[in-house]
Amino acid sequence: MGLARRNLLRDKGRLALSIAGVALATALVLLLSGFVDGLDRQLTSYLDQSPGTLVVSQAGIKNMLVATSVLPQGTAERVRGTDGVASAVPLLSSFVILEFHDAKQAGYLVGFDPLQGGGPRVLSSGRQLARDDEAIIDRTLAQRHDLALGDTFDLMGQRFTIVGLSEGTGSWMTGYVFVRKAEAETLFKAPGMTSFLLVTPTDGLSVDRVRADLAALAGVTVTPKAEVAANDVAIFGRFILPAVRLMTAIAFLVGTLIVGLVLYSATVERQREYGVLKAIGARARTLYGVTLTQAAIITFAGAAVGLALALGAAQLVMVLRPQFQVTFLPLTVAVRLASSALMALLAVLLPARIIASLAPADVFRRS
Amino acid sequence: MFALARNNLFRSRMKALMAIGGVALAMMLVLSLDAILAGLENRIGAFVERAGADVWVAQSGVRNMHMASSAVPRGLVDQVRQVPGVAEATPIRYLTNVVRSGDQDYIATVIGLPVGATMGLPNALVPGGTMPKSGQVVIDGAVGKAGANVGDGVRILGSTFEISGRSEGLASSLSSLAFIPLSDLDRMLGNDRVVSYVLVRAAPGVSAESLSAAIETRVNGVTASTRTQFAGEERRVVRDMSTEIAVIMNLAGLLIGFAVMALSIYTATASRLPEYGVLKAVGASTRRLAGVVVTQAALTVVVGLVLGLIAAYATALIAPHLDPLFDLEITFASVVKVSLVSFAVAALAAIAPIIQIAGLDPAVVFRRRIA
């Protein structure tokens, strides 16, 4: 341990740079996974805060965000008339493209009936909808496009006034826009159309039983709300994760190379000393231990700094760009930090080879 | 100066390999991210560009297709046809939905085509060759690439459709395309009151610009865009939405590149410090020695950049075979940007070693040797 520490501290500049390199690679890996976990939470935040435990959708639809669902006419009445249904909140929803200050922005439009629910649960400012030409938009969406209460925007040929800003209803990809359901029907030119029903079973009744009864209705699929949320996360993950995995793999390789470069340089420079140690009886295992300890010091210090860096950078990003949410889940962080340890083990391979091939006699011949 | 820098860099091949490899990987990180976004931006307008329409007519205020919602009353289709300068008009209906193939779900743009459609058709049908009939679907994109074959069934909006053909080159990595008969889509959506867009072909001699203006003047409640405008707006959706995430990720990649470069140059300089001292003692100026360090940094960047480019191109070739949702396109602009920033990073990375050399006292070298 002492030898390893002295080896590293001999050149403090190099040690600092190597720790910084590992820290940056670790921070990038942590930020990437935190970003994906944060997006997962953002994607499901509306469903999480909305009423009901079951989602009734058009037959075959088990997603919400990327699905266009059109329930057969009269479904709401039939659902409400089913035993065990305490309430069924109708929604008409779809992705729309918003144009704010000449920038295109995907929005998820939710048409809801303020008397029945399904709107934003928390308003950071403003009020609920009172008229058809009013809208509530996500606070981060508004902040991103310099919009405030009282401002207007055009959507699909209609003008809306922003009367409320909602919390927990946005992500970097999209932000929620809430309007009255009647107005959404006008926008989509679909009078009486309903996409989803959020169903709350009567207290004390089995959710599975109510689900089975509802599933018997014609033209619908009934899915637990949590499953719909999980399906949305899975389908978005399919096109985000490959890119994230590629970048994580590159960051991991870079981190390994940084540790490898430092250890290799340190070992080559001290090759003679290692030879002397071998000549006076030090076993190769002991010398591997020295190299491994150096790797561990750099990696753990780099990982610790990287963790702090990732936490700080995440806070900074979320303050400057509130549409991004970076969530550090303990298990994910543990796995990522464990991968840093793997980085150290891989980086040790090269210097270990040098030590293994070192012949003690060479040292004396060179002397 | 160049020879000295080259010798310094390649004196230890292993160290050079690791330094250059690190730089190459960091550059590849930035290039790959750019390539993913460029691939997406490029492909997202493919259907619009190849649909054969000169003008796209949408609901008022709607100027693109991807993630947009548009409802044009069917009664307006004939009004569009009657506008002078319109040679043909094909209404299409579309929605975004999940298409299930086997046990996998894919995001897909489902397009309903009317009987006798002449625009908005699947491209280079392989091997179907005809419009889908009722109960049939022609697919383009990840669903097909992932292994769904002609004759297989896929689930769309709760109904099973038989794949009658495969199209190529129209889908993006964000979304596959599924072409079905308009009547099937109307049935599944429970109404035939609206279409999403009317695709218009201009009569010979009529410009797309004048035709779109004429349609907007004569037909109420619609927005008409030329193909170029409409495709441009499709691409802008990706560009506007990805700008910030791209900046953050680019910054992360460049910081890592900087760390690798700074470390490798610092290590190389530190291990040759006595030699630099000797050179100083025999009259080499600090400026000249700083030039050696900068040249070494530049050399690392050039070789790293070339390798990074090769690796990025290889990834762009291999990745789509590993995951059909991957579509990378390396652009000239991205290469120029990464190159320029890399040289700036190399210059920054050389600062610490230059300071070290500037503070080097030649006499110390001789004192050390005598001792």
User: Residues A135-162: what's their mean pLDDT?
Assistant: 93
At B36, the amino acid letter reads: I
Q: Coil, strand, or helix at residue B143?
A: helix
Task: State whether residue B221 sits within 8 Å of chain A by CB.
Answer: yes
- Mention every residue, 6+ apart, whose C-beta is less than 8 A from residue B95: A68, B109, B110, B185, B189, B196
Helix (H) or strand (E) holding A239: helix A225-269
Q: Residue A249's pLDDT is what?
A: 77
Inter-chain CB proximity B244 and A321 less than 8 Å: yes
**Rounded Cα gap, residues B158 and B99, in angstroms:** 9
Q: Does B74 have pLDDT greater than 80? A: yes
Residue B224 confidence class, pLDDT cut points 50, 70, 90 = very high
Task: State whether residue B270 sits within 8 Å of chain A by CB.
Answer: yes
Q: Residue B286's pLDDT is what?
A: 83
Any idea which of A117-131, B82-96, B199-213, B321-335 has the lowest mean pLDDT? B321-335
pLDDT in tens, A47-56: 998 999 999 9
What does the block give as tokens for B34?
Answer: 């750019």
Task: State whether residue B11 sits within 8 Å of chain A by CB.
Answer: no
Q: Residue B1's pLDDT is what?
A: 66
Inter-chain CB proximity B98 and A235 less than 8 Å: yes
Residue A224 confidence class, pLDDT cut points 50, 70, 90 = very high
Q: Which residue of A has its CA nearest to B19?
A: A261
User: Residues A77-104: what's their mean pLDDT?
Assistant: 91
Task: Report which listed range, A253-267, B34-48, B198-212, is most confident.
Answer: B198-212
User: Residues B107-136: what's their mean pLDDT?
Assistant: 84
**Rounded Cα gap, residues A288 and A86, in angstroms:** 69
Q: Does B371 have pLDDT greater than 60? A: no
User: Residues A5-10: what's their mean pLDDT?
Assistant: 73
- Rounded to a whole number of angstroms, the distance from the CA of A138 to the nearest CA of chain B is 16
Q: Residue B76's pLDDT is what?
A: 95
Q: Rounded to whole angstroms, what are the CA distances from B300 to A208, A226, A243, A258, B110?
A: 64, 51, 27, 15, 49
What is the pLDDT of chain A when averaged over all its residues?
A: 85
Query: Which residue carries 């004939």 as its tokens?
Result: B78
pLDDT in tens, B35-58: 887 887 777 888 899 899 999 999
Inter-chain CB proximity A103 and B240 less than 8 Å: yes
**Rounded Cα gap, residues B325 and B307, in angstroms:** 25
pLDDT: which is higher, A142 or B20: A142
Q: Residue A90's pLDDT is what?
A: 97
Under a CB-based contact definition with an 8 Å cutoff, are residues B250 and B30 in contact? yes
pLDDT in tens, A61-71: 999 988 889 99
| A199 φ/ψ angles, rounded to the nearest 5 degrees | -105, 130
Inter-chain CB proximity B15 and A265 less than 8 Å: yes
pLDDT in tens, B138-167: 988 777 666 778 889 999 988 899 999 888
Any idea which of A203-207, A239-243, B109-113 has the lowest mean pLDDT? A239-243
Task: State whether residue B193 sits within 8 Å of chain A by CB.
Answer: yes
Pairing of strands A220-224, A54-58: antiparallel
Inter-chain CB proximity A157 and B267 less than 8 Å: no
Any idea which of A206-210, A335-339, B110-114 has the lowest mean pLDDT? A335-339
Q: Residue A321's pLDDT is what?
A: 81
Residue A83 CB coordination number (10 Å): 10
At A292, the amino acid letter reads: L
**Rounded Cα gap, residues B46 and B64, in angstroms:** 13
Under a CB-based contact definition with an 8 Å cutoff, are residues A162 and A149 in contact? yes
**Rounded Cα gap, residues A220 and A227, in angstroms:** 16
Residue A196 confidence class, pLDDT cut points 50, 70, 90 = very high
pLDDT: which is higher, B226 or B277: B226
pLDDT in tens, B238-264: 777 776 777 777 777 777 777 777 777
pTM of the model: 0.79
| 3-state secondary structure string across B182-247 | HHHHHHHHCCCCEECEEEEEECCCCCHHHHHHHHHHHCCCEEEEEHHHHHHHHHHHHHHHHHHHHH
